[in-house]
Amino acid sequence: MLQSIAVITLGVADLARSRRFYAEGFGWTPVFETPEIVFYQMNGLVLGTWLESALAADMQRPAAGPGAYALAHNVARQADVAPAMDSLVRAGGRLLRGAVAPPHGGLSGYVEDPDAHAWEIAWNPAWRIGPDGRVIFGV
């Protein structure tokens, strides 16, 4: 596996308040928005802000409350999702949610590391991943 973090997703209590902070405070422009999540293209990765309750439901674990987050490792092919997740479980991780096809497309699942940090392992056909592991939103 490439040494890369493709997406950092922060759980937020109020999406509009969060958007104002990032868009007006930092001056960042969202590249994708729904009523539950906002994505920002960063330098080589994507930052997501997602309603805490929706993030917890997607990971299939109780809401963590303030400070909730998920890290994501995106893979280049759909067929790479399950082997990557299996490898992490064999190495001491705990399966939170097996790989499923979300409504927006692709394939993703969650594995928790030994210290309860959630990792999403994902393939998104709309995102390009360079040979160095950099992910570009919506290309």
* Average per-residue pLDDT for the chain: 88
54 within a domain of the structure (yes/no): yes
Dump pLDDT digits (tens) for 40-49.
998 888 999 9
Tell me the pLDDT band of 25, cut-offs 50, 70 and 90: confident
Distance (Å, rounded) from C-alpha 137 to C-alpha 14? 23
Per-residue model confidence (pLDDT) at position 21: 87
Per-residue model confidence (pLDDT) at position 38: 95
Dump pLDDT digits (tens) for 58-108.
988 887 666 788 889 899 899 999 999 999 999 989 999 999 998 888 999
68 within a domain of the structure (yes/no): yes
37-47 burial, b for 16+ CB within 10 Å, e for fewer?
bbbbbeeebbb
For residue 95, what are the domain limits? 7-136
Tell me the pLDDT band of 139, cut-offs 50, 70 and 90: low
Q: What is the CATH number of the domain that holds 103?
A: 3.10.180.10
2 within a domain of the structure (yes/no): no
1 within a domain of the structure (yes/no): no
98 within a domain of the structure (yes/no): yes
Closest by Cα among 23, 18, 129, 39 to 75: 129
**Number of folded domains in the chain?**
1
